[in-house]
Amino acid sequence: MDEETIAERGGGASGSGGYFRTEAPTASAQPGRYERVDDVPGLHPVPGDERLTLRPVFGERMTMSFVFFEPHTEAPVHRHAEEQIGTVIDGSLEFDLDGDRRLLGPGDVYVVPPWVPHGAWSGEAAAVALDVFSPPREGFAELMEQALKSAGDASSE
């Protein structure tokens, strides 16, 4: 593809439109940042069960969460207001999407509309999934706030 064709399709480096724009109509309220997954506090959404660990990263309008399943771990069927799109990164998960159960492996994607019941289970091996939520996952923000408060209380003793 030549440069003229790229420019006609709105690509290229000129920033005159297309997918890779260089000018924003409005500025973000927050500066960009970098995160390391290992530095994000691990949250345990199932009380008393630390085999399921979430490491959520929050943006202005979405949440991305790395989900770590130890072998034979359950993310119970639940529902929430946020839309969720996820993929299995490593291992496999049995995924239940509103009663439709399927075995998912690396590269398989699930799309969960708001309020649709869903859950997942790991088998003999550990598994890792990556979930994205929009708007930001309110329940994870509450869990993170509690975890940070507990960590702060523990360090002040």
pLDDT grade for 157, boundaries at 50, 70 and 90: low
Task: Supply 148's token pair.
Answer: 């940070």
* Residue 34 in domain: no
pLDDT greater at residue 154 or residue 94: 94
Asked if residue 8 and residue 47 are part of one domain, the reply reads: no
Asked if residue 58 and residue 115 are part of one domain, the reply reads: yes
Query: Around 50, how many Cα atoms within 13 Å sit in the side-chain half-sphere?
Result: 2
Domain count along the chain? 2
CATH number of the CATH domain containing 62: 2.60.120.10
Q: Is the pTM of this model over 0.85?
A: no
Q: Which domain holds residue 3?
A: 1-25
Section 13-36 average pLDDT: 73
Q: What is the pLDDT of residues 100-110, one digit of tens each?
A: 999 999 999 99
Task: Supply 16's token pair.
Answer: 């005159």
- Integer Cα distance of 140 and 131 in angstroms: 12
Task: Supply 59's token pair.
Answer: 């943006």
Asked if residue 60 and residue 17 are part of one domain, the reply reads: no
Q: Does the pLDDT of residue 25 top 80, yes or no?
A: no
Burial of 122 (0-12, 13-18, 19+ CB in 10 A): buried
